Structure 1
């Protein structure tokens, strides 16, 4: 979990990605937890998205949280979710991020 924060911070500073993701696995199931910032800018609004990769491969990611002002809360909420998943037996690790869709302003 602390590694996610360090990786997230490093990637946000580098500006090289639009989203920071963790892939979690248990048996044959795969889940993705992703922090997505508008325009890839860590100072702009963000979403925490959750995808059931293997169970619902064609379904869009569920937006669990959205922050307009206190954007650091996206990382906090993602870390909390990852801790829960790991507590339930999931194994999570950083994913090589690909450009994600831009977070919407809801």
Structure 2
């Protein structure tokens, strides 16, 4: 937990690198596409585009995922996840439950709430 600029995303990306280096099927998950696109651009040229694209997914990607498909899902800004997925937010039960079901373990970062 922590406010903006405290390094949550940096920790998430370093964890993604470490876990994939250990040959664990892992993905970085965020609701917002902007950070995913920034990381993809930084990795351009290091691996095949399809490999890089498979490391970064939107939070609505797990509606129909088979349970325990992934070793780990790293959710950045978990407080921004939606209740439901789909264009009209009419799919699934809860993005949080979908992420948890799709992976053996999930790691999330969120902003510290005051009060």
Question: TM (normalized to structure 1)?
Answer: 0.30
Higher helix proportion: 2
Whose Rg is larger? 2
Question: TM (normalized to structure 2)?
Answer: 0.28
Higher strand proportion: 1
